């Protein structure tokens, strides 16, 4: 098992640095409260003190709680979700690890009993998983716990909240190991799958970042559960349908932008990022039609344009010459992009930018702030991209960066920043609508608007320069 204590310290260091410039008050900061919770949960091992500070963390509605919540509800369960005690040969260390595991289980029960904390993030599914883990060979207890879970998830619509989907599937894996519990495990599997199927999240103009995170979670879990079922059937027709669904619900570009919705589920469930290769391999092995194979390659390329050349080769190999590949590629992008509406923004030089005036061109939007460290670090690269690519292809593409956080990033402050850094790419000032329009939840965020006015979110952590060049054929 990968150690996570170092990660916790790194994240805690991040919180401390984030709060370093926050005005001090007599009330402890969320990071300070979390350090106290961590101290009693991992070092001094006092469950009552750990629980006290756990509650204090969530008594404050500070925005940083979302990140602290992520740590508390994703990382501390690792002590009893993925135990590695058998590999601890040192008796002293092993005994201490057991004490920590037991304390965290007791802390979890206290959290589950505290009604106020359940409004922050319910832990019933995690609590059941903890008990299942302790009773893996006790079939009477497994039956009781699984039936309790079935009652909890009956009609459930949100499998991201409380990470219910993750722990329900982990319980399924344990129950399914017992031949005389197969009927019960199948019922659990079917219930989870059906709930996920009917509660997929559609993207709308009003979708919030929370909606999009839940979408990413539900799609990932639905892909995973279809892949599991495909792996256990010998019926080729059924297997193809299941693998196709697993492929189609694998994370898309929008999901990648909200990877926090499924990344931990992928780790705990030991799932895959996507099921493209599994579906493609099945089709090639069984000699299925080439149109379907082309559609898979196309989706993979739209997700990651490094595969674009593979699509082109296969497209031409199929003899589809009635439509040039670049037109086919452009039409495919449009089909996968989201609908948008025109917008106008005031530029830093007082001109008005109107997206309607640039119909027929690609528009790269980049949302940033002067205080955002990743933005500042990326700006030299963005400036170089503007100089060497955008200005050389003005007839096809343009860039508009958008300075956000109007309370801090005034026109004067942004102009001063641009001058100090020697930056000349176009800058507009965000209004009260533009960030909501494109569901901006972090900085920097990039959005690519197509020539027809539709848009795609550009995920963080990918080679965005290559993506834009390949999409716009620059």
* Per-residue confidence (pLDDT) for residue 83, from 0 to 100: 58
Average pLDDT for residues 194-209, to the nearest whole number? 88
| Tokens read off for 284 | 């090639």
pLDDT of residue 397: 94
The pLDDT of residue 200 is: 96
Residue 321, pLDDT > 80, answer no
Q: 71-85, 296-310, 401-415 — which is least confidently predicted?
A: 71-85
Residue 190: which pLDDT band, with cuts at 50, 70 and 90? very high
Residue written as token pair 């019933």: 124
pTM of the model: 0.70
Question: What confidence category does residue 24 fall into, taking pLDDT thresholds of 50, 70 and 90?
Answer: very low
Please give the mean pLDDT across all residues of the chain: 85
Q: pLDDT digit string (tens) for 69-105?
A: 777 677 767 776 665 666 667 788 888 888 888 898 8
**Residues present in the chain in total:** 474
| pLDDT single digits (tens) 327-370 | 888 888 888 788 888 899 999 988 999 999 999 999 999 999 99
Q: Please give the pLDDT value at position 26.
A: 64
CB 56 within 8 A of CB 64: no
Terminal alpha carbon distance of the chain: 44
Tokens of 16: 């401390």
Interaxial angle between packed helices 124-134 and 91-113, expressed in degrees from 0 to 180 and rounded to the nearest 10? 140
Q: Give the pLDDT confidence of 409-452 residue by residue, as tens digits.
A: 788 999 999 999 999 999 999 988 898 888 887 889 999 999 99
So what's the pLDDT on residue 358?
Answer: 92
State the helix-helix crossing angle for 325-336 and 308-317, rounded to 10 degrees: 120
Q: Is the pLDDT of residue 323 over 80?
A: yes
Per DSSP, the residues of 191-220 read HHHHHHHHTPPPP-TT--HHHHHHHHHHHH
pLDDT tens across 244-270, in order?
Answer: 999 889 988 788 878 889 999 999 999
- Using the predicted structure, report yes or no on whether residue 46 has a pLDDT greater than 90: yes
pLDDT on residue 22:
43
Work out the percent of the chain whose per-residue pLDDT is above 90: 44
Pairwise CA distance, residues 340 & 355, whole Å = 11
Residue ranges with strand state E in 338-435 = 344-347, 352-354, 362-368, 397-403, 427-429
pLDDT value, residue 66:
65
**Helix 65-74 / helix 5-19 crossing angle, nearest 10 deg:** 170
Query: What Å distances lie between residue 377 and 117, 134, 332, 470, CA to CA?
Result: 38, 47, 33, 24
Burial of 62 (0-12, 13-18, 19+ CB in 10 A): middle
Question: In this predicted structure, what is the pLDDT of residue 21?
Answer: 41
Model confidence at 242, in pLDDT bands (50, 70, 90)? very high
What is the C-alpha to C-alpha distance for residues 188 and 175, in angstroms, rounded to an integer? 9
Share of the chain above pLDDT 70, in %: 88
Name the residue with higher pLDDT: 319 or 464.
464
pLDDT in tens, 120-165: 778 889 999 999 988 999 999 999 999 999 999 988 899 998 899 9
Strands in 455-458's sheet, in edge-to-edge order, are: 352-354, 344-347, 427-429, 397-403, 362-368, 445-449, 455-458
């Amino acid at each position: 098992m990968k150690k996570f204590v170092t990660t916790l310290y790194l994240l805690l260091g991040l919180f401390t640095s984030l709060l370093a410039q926050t005005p001090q008050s007599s009330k402890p900061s969320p990071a300070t409260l979390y350090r106290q919770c961590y101290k009693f949960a991992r070092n001094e091992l006092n469950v009552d003190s750990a629980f006290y500070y756990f509650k204090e963390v969530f008594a404050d509605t500070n925005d940083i709680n979302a990140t602290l919540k992520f740590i508390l509800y994703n990382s501390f369960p690792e002590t009893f979700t993925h135990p590695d005690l058998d590999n601890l040969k040192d008796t002293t260390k092993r005994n201490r690890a057991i004490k920590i595991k037991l304390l965290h289980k007791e802390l979890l029960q206290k959290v589950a009993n505290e009604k106020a904390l359940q409004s922050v993030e319910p832990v019933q599914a995690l609590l059941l998983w903890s008990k299942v883990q302790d009773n893996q060979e006790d079939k009477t207890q497994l039956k009781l716990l699984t039936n309790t879970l079935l009652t909890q998830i009956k009609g459930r619509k949100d499998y991201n909240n409380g990470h219910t989907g993750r722990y329900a599937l982990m319980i399924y894996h344990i129950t399914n190991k017992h031949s005389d519990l197969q009927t019960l495990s199948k019922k659990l599997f079917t219930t989870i799958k059906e709930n996920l199927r009917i509660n997929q999240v559609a993207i709308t103009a009003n979708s919030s970042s929370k909606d999009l995170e839940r979408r990413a979670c539900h799609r990932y879990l639905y892909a995973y559960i279809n892949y599991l079922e495909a792996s256990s059937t010998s019926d080729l027709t059924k297997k193809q349908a299941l693998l196709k669904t697993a492929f189609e619900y694998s994370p898309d570009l929008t999901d990648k932008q909200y990877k926090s919705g499924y990344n931990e589920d992928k780790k705990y469930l030991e799932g895959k990022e996507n099921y493209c290769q599994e579906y493609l391999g099945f089709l090639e092995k069984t000699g299925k039609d080439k149109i379907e194979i082309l559609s898979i390659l196309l989706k993979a390329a739209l997700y990651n344009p490094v595969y674009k050349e593979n699509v082109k080769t296969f497209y031409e190999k199929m003899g589809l010459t009635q439509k040039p590949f670049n037109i086919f590629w452009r039409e495919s992008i449009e089909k996968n992009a989201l609908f948008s509406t025109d917008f106008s923004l005031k530029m830093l030089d007082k001109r008005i930018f109107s997206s309607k005036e640039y119909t027929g061109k690609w528009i790269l939007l980049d949302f940033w702030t002067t205080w955002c460290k990743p933005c500042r670090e990326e700006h030299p690269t963005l400036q170089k991209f503007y100089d060497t690519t955008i200005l050389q292809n003005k007839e096809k593409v343009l860039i508009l960066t958008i300075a956000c956080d109007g309370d801090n990033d005034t026109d004067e402050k942004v102009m001063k920043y641009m001058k100090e850094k020697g930056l000349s790419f176009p800058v507009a000032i965000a209004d009260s609508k533009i960030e909501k329009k494109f569901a901006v939840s972090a900085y920097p965020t990039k959005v690519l608007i197509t020539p027809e006015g539709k848009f795609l979110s550009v995920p963080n952590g990918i080679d965005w320069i290559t993506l834009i060049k390949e999409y716009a054929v620059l």
